[in-house]
Amino acid sequence: MISLLHLDSGAEHADGSVSRRLTAMFAEEWRRLHGPAAEYRYRDLAADPVPPLGAPYIDLGRRVEKRGLVPPDQVAALAADDAERRDWALTLPLVEEVRAAGTILIGAPMYNFSVPAALKAWIDRITFPGAYIDPETGASVLRDTTVVVVTARGGAYGPQTPRHGCDFQEPYLRAYFREHLGVPEDNLRFVHAEMTMAEHLPQLAHLRDFAARSLADARAAVAELASGDGRPVGAPHR
């Protein structure tokens, strides 16, 4: 079944958050095009945060890793105590959502050159040993998954800008999904709305036209990706 996993991670309310408005636009168009039969799952990682990792998660993960490739539905049997069982009960639904998604849509404002802590906590929680490897083939079960990351940045961090080297957001997320989860490079999409603080700060007033163009470009890119132009977005797994 075609499915969309929609995650927001910004601390702002929807009416003040550029990333939330853009991901909502994507989700609305995607759901309109795919109809009620398509599965849609939403998580607000800021309002309902994923618990940070603790010793039970680490201990269980190391025990599982020593066994080789253990399918997620068999991990619970390896839990040593109630604390590990509780931790895995928190983790498994998140892992299953990622494995089932045809498209993962992430709203990620830039905080201090990187991603929000709420998003990092989700990433840490879902990154369980062997959770995305097919034990029969050794291939990633996410090889057909598309990841769309929509960012909002108070400044400008694109190529040829003075702060391009300070972007630890896209490189980190690109490397994580590609190298750690096995999402192919061609299936990773990034949309950036930049200079979003220009409308709020008088000293950035001269950059408001730049900000408006960046937001317009981001909206156009989101609409195109949601509609599936080019490579199909949200294609079911083979």
- Detail the residues annotated as belonging to a binding site for FMN: 17-19, 110-113
Residue with the two structure tokens 């977005």: 233
Binding residues: 17-19, 110-113
Euclidean distance between CA atoms 92 and 149, whole angstroms: 23
User: What's the distance, Cα to Cα, between the start and end of the chain in Å?
Assistant: 11
Instruction: List C-alpha distances in Å: 188 to 11, 115, 140.
Output: 24, 17, 15
Q: Pick from 194, 186, 201, 23: which is nearest to 104 by CA?
A: 23
Q: CA-CA distance, 131 to 230, in Å (whole number)? A: 30
Query: Which of 90, 82, 14 is closest to 49 using CA atoms?
Result: 90
Which residues fall within 8 angstroms of residue 116, CB to CB, at 6 or more apart? 9, 10, 11, 45, 46, 108, 109
